[in-house]
Chain A
Amino acid sequence: MVRVVFAFLLLPLTLFADYGSWVFGNISARSIGPAVMGGRVSDLAAIPSNPVVIYVGSASGGLWKSKDGGITFSPIFDKYPQSIGAIAIDPNDSETVWVGTGEPWTRNSVSVGKGVYKSTDGGKSWKFMGLEDTERIAKIIVHPENSKIVYVCALGHLWNDNEERGVYKTVDGGKSWKKILYVDQKTGCSDMAIDPQEPEILYVGMWEFRRWPWFFKSGGPGSGLYKSLDGGKNWTLLKNGFPEKPWGRIAVAVAPSRPSRVYVLLEDDKGTALYRSDDFGNSFVKVNEGFNIRVRPFYFARLIVDPVDYNIVYKPGISLTISRDGGESFAGPFGYGGTVHPDHHALWINPKNPKHLILGTDGGVYESFDRGDSWRHLNNLPISQVYRVGVDNEFPYNVYVGLQDNGSWRGPSMKLGFRGVLNKHWETVGFGDGFWSFAHPKDSKMVFSEYQGGKLVRVDMTSGELRSITPHLATGEKLRFNWNTPFLFGPSGTLYVGAQFLFRSLDNGESWEKISPDLTTNDPEKQKQHLSGGMTVDNTTAENHTTIYSISESPIDSNVIWVGSDDGLVHVTTNGGKEWIEVTPKSGVPKNTWVSFIESSNHKRERAYVTFDGHRTGDMNTYLFVTDDMGKSWRKLPTEGVEGYAYVVKEDPVNEKLLFLGTEFGLYISIDGGESWARFKKIPKVSVRHMVIHPRGDLVVGTHGRGVYIIDDLSPLRALTPELLSEEVVILPSRDGVQYLMTPLDGWGGADEEFLGDNPPDAAFIHFFQKKRHLFGSLKMEVYDSSGNLVISLPVPKNRGIVRVLFPMRLPPPKVPPGNSLLPAMIGPYLMEGEYTFKLVKGNKSYEGKISLVKDPRNKHSESDRKLQQQTVLELYYLLEDLGYLADTLKYIEDQAADILKKKKLKQVAKIKEEALALRKELVATHPAGWLSGEEKLREKIGELYMGVIAYLGRPTKTQLSQLDFYKKEFSKAEKKFNDLVEKVKAVNRKIERSGFVIKILSKEEWREKREKI
């Protein structure tokens, strides 16, 4: 019986392999930025006593910490929701940091948070502290004298009603929370201030607000300004001096140097204004209604009072304006369009030096030491918010991104010769808010991009000239373009753009043909963009609705085109747009849910995948559907284990079972056609908005908040099957290793402050899968050439899942003679192009596979020239080694002779020593001053020639070839002298043998062994 029980228990373990994130093993994703333009920063803080420690909360790219005044930043929150609302450093203990997730700047594209976190070790580790359903948090205040008392100003849900909003208080360091101020399900806390001298006094701005997919409304009866005198037990509504309600968004600040001075920014459809109180809020006077006070209150609602001078008050807005007279007049330190990226949200003032400012904007972090007269951009944070990503076919290929408020850019996927992809490698290809951007599939000098409102441009990258190519209807009928208008080349080379109609262009946008009727609901109730904003009209086209949002042309049949709309409709045509059929799934997803992506199958004409995204109505579920019959029927794919609403799905072009799903909370991968999913954890829990699979087999991931990640070489993932996961060890395929051209002139040092996007490793990949981590015995990878000679033995990572072994494609560097300084010959020659056999040696088992090395496609040198180069390098390589053998042996002779001479003065031994030294001095530089001596002997000269020939993968110059001949002759002469000396040593040995002495000569093999050990 007991046995039966055990058998039963063992069953599930042996029959089903547990698919999970572990399967991806050490496959990594590399971040290439861009960082040059920054990205939206929602809050920031620095430690007052040590302001080189800076925390930056990005709108959707996580929390970053600098310990060196912004020279370098590290992400410290990658496992948690990446949308940061508020940061608070405990004034009593700067190692304690509170973070509220969920951005309070409620624009259309905003991400979501999931509660409050606390660290007590300066951000090394985090503990979830609750308030999970608050979605967004505007401010956190730690009691200035008691760390256990913390107030959280929770804005709450943006797109639907919820109750977890208002002001929360803990008196036990976050173990429990009490809601101390609540208005209703539509109203949340937009700002909060504490009296630093009487910390029981609190001021709170409550804000009624709501977004719909097609509309934003700020303001309502719920908005109000509250004050408590007893730490939140009782509240009074402040009215004195304010206009009649209803109000909109409210910001409030208390002057630290004179807490009776309170500033309030009040949004009001009768006139948004700044108000001031000098009696602790009992009465207010209106002091300013300037542009920067009034502008976009839902997006700019923060006031910061100088820590020393209560009359200096800052209002971040489109620009940062400063008043020095208590708000009566404002002067901008720079005008709109100045040197600092507009759209400012966060400001930190150094209390010990109030001219020292740190500013957070839509373009990242800036620092000033003169109260904003001049700024430094800390452009080393890769927090760009990608809407769309594209690639071209250059080698190496370029990546294109459209960014929130940061235009469109292109940058290299890797940068040979440099340490990686740097800021200077990115160039702009569009402006405004950037969305789709890409190159012409056959000509990457022709680049397309768009900006808000569906404005399309074509850029000639050789001249920089821009051509506007936005479609227009001859009837004058108004076109409705989504904020993130779909604009792309289909696989056939046709250019598409979607308004409410689908347009196509066969002449790169010179002309457009309307190929569909209105493919949306055309619901007039959802076409009130011009009225959007609520109390303050805010028509930036961000709420344009009833528009086409997704377009996908089938790679199998270009007459099959799928179109999805933001109001939930899916249409397909099978005849290039002549007829359209509505094929919206009838069940499984609420009606009118945003069609976030359609992916035509690469494998079956009738197949397509669709993701729906309901978050703009408060529906946070993941929706993924597939059809195999042209939309006649849909199957909802299970998304167990997937977190977050879905933005994008990609079907691998090689393995139809391999799917990639991007959601608000990261990248998920399925190897069984979408039946089961696992998160790819090398990419943070960031919003993955778009992806492209490069034809060469990389996955390029566009994240909204962390720029672009590239997963190099999908080959091993393509080979995974659920059955394979129960195997102990399986060799997996790899793409060919490319022997890149060397480009040493490109690189230049740079210092630590520069953002460095990772290059792929300069190595071929060899992949295998192992079910369990390798623990006992050796695990090595041996590589053999076609003749069966061992070329190199490689270390192997031990992780379970996929193991990627780096194969450097080079011989080990030559064993050069030791000299008075290091030779630059620190790299080995490229291995010959062609196929190699590798053998994975795991304990007493071994597994074989093949890997091919190929030339860089830009390497235009003929095969015979390439062969001559490799042959020449190898000759120099072995010449250096032969010289190494001579020099080491001579030194060995000298050392033995010296030992003998210590014991007995033997003339012939002394002579041998002298001769050995003299000969060695002919071969290698020996001046004690080393490299500064400038001394050059055969070693140095051959070493220089070796590097000269190795660096150019074509035919060596005639000079180089004749140099080689010359050095070979020089070496022969030296070798002859060496052999003569060896004969002399032998002769001397015969004489000194009787005294018990001998001078040994190393064989080549002995020498080699000696050099490989210490």
Chain B
Amino acid sequence: MRKFAMVVIFTFLLYPLHASEMDVDQIIDKFANAVGGKENIAKVNAIVMTGKLKQGEVEYPVKITTKRPNKFRVEFSVQGKVGIQAFDGSTGWFYMPFLGDDAKPEKVPPHQVAVMKEQDFFYDGLVNYKNHGNKVEFLGEDEVEGTPVYKIKLIKPSGNEIVYFIDKDSFLLLKNEVSIKLPDGNTHKSTVILGDYKKVGDLMLNFYVEEKRGKNASVIEIDEYKINPTIDDKIFAFPENVEKTAN
């Protein structure tokens, strides 16, 4: 029996679980478990994050509200005035009162809507990829800044792609690369690095987001998550007027 145990151990060591042998669904399941489990993920309907966007010594307070399936509203404050960018599932808009109080909410052009539409609510597109008609592809192992990861490509019916870089140890997401085809044929690309995971209720959430677009990088440090607060859908819809934040 002892002999047998030895053999088993050695065999196990000689043939470590190769990534290529690891089923992509297994990785996604482990990822879902790391985040809190599929059931708990399914229970999440809305999230509010508040924190600060940091660029050098400058800090901008931010608040991000998201709601299933792809509604969101981002508010950020500059010199005490609040700008808004939001999407209600079909219309995207912004309000930027920074150059004059005569600013009005404006609708974003279709190519920005194309990007907004692709917002995934809380990894739903990956965890329940089949429900969304998404496809996944295992791209093998790689590194994120020296840390070994599994790479999974998510391909949406629209043809847009997200590559997820999932930590081999914890199965948490370290990075993703989004590539969205715009109506005029150009591609929108962004890279996001995640960190500072903390438990919030049953979920494991990142409190650090670093976004890279070209040579520009910014960091959002999240101070607080609210899970499933009551959110009126009105805040996502294009308003005729926005209540002035100052003056």
Contact = CB atoms under 8 A, between A and B. Distances in A.
SS class of chain B's interface: helix, strand, loop or mixed? strand
A775 B102 contact: no
Interface in B214-236: 215, 219, 221
A473 interface: no
Contact of A808 (B56, B63, B146, B198): B56
21 contacts: A762-B56, A775-B170, A775-B195, A777-B197, A780-B221, A795-B54, A799-B146, A812-B58, A816-B79, A819-B246, A820-B100, A826-B58, A926-B247, A929-B102, A932-B100, A1011-B80, A1014-B62, A1014-B63, A1014-B75, A1014-B76, A1014-B77
Contacts of B102: 928-930
Interface in A803-846: 806, 808-813, 815-823, 826-828
B56 A806 contact: yes
Interface residues of B, number: 53
A762 B215 CA distance: 15
A1013 B222 CA distance: 11
Nearest to B220: A795
A22 B196 contact: no
A400 to B, nearest CB: 26
Contacts of B13: 9
Given A5-B6, A776-B197, A798-B193, 11 more contacts: A2-B5, A5-B9, A20-B146, A26-B145, A756-B215, A795-B210, A820-B247, A828-B58, A1011-B61, A1011-B77, A1012-B59
A798 B195 CA distance: 7
A1014 B82 contact: yes
A94 to B, nearest CB: 13
B23 interface: no
A827 B57 contact: yes
Nearest to B247: A926
B145 A25 contact: yes
Given A798-B193, A799-B145, A891 B246 contact: yes
Contacts of B143: 22
Given A818-B80, A820-B100, A928-B100, A801 B58 contact: no
A800 B50 contact: no
Q: Tell me which of A801, A817, A928 has the highest count of chain B C-beta atoms within 10 A of its own C-beta.
A: A928
B129 interface: no
Interface in B139-195: 143-147, 167, 170, 172, 174, 193, 195
A107 interface: no
B147 A799 contact: yes
Contact of A775 (B10, B56, B101, B197): B197
B138 interface: no
A311 to B, nearest CB: 37
Interface in A918-935: 926, 928-933
SS class of chain A's interface: helix, strand, loop or mixed? loop
A795 B219 contact: yes
A800 B144 CA distance: 10
Contacts of B61: 1011-1014
Contacts of A818: 79-81, 245-247
Contacts of B10: 5
Given A800-B146, A817-B80, A818-B79, A774 B57 contact: no
A813 B58 contact: yes
Nearest to A778: B196
A821 B96 CA distance: 10
Nearest to A926: B247
B101 A820 contact: yes
A162 to B, nearest CB: 32
B121 interface: no
Given A798-B208, A816-B80, A821 B221 contact: no
Contacts of B17: none
B196 A779 contact: yes
A773 interface: yes
- 3 closest cross-chain pairs (CB), A and B: A930-B100, A22-B146, A818-B80
Contacts of B52: 1012
Contacts of A820: 100-101, 247
Contact of B210 (A797, A891, A928): A797
Contacts of B145: 22, 25-26, 773, 797-801
A416 to B, nearest CB: 15
B80 A822 contact: no
A5 B14 CA distance: 13
Nearest to B170: A775
B98 interface: yes
Contact of A792 (B57, B77, B170, B247): B57
B245 A931 contact: no
Contacts of B172: 775
Contacts of B167: 773, 775
Contact of A778 (B79, B100, B174, B207): B207
A25 B101 contact: no
A763 interface: yes
Q: Tell me which of A25, A797, A816 has the highest count of chain B C-beta atoms within 10 A of its own C-beta.
A: A797
A664 interface: no
Contacts of A819: 79, 246-247
Contacts of A21: 146
A777 B197 CA distance: 6
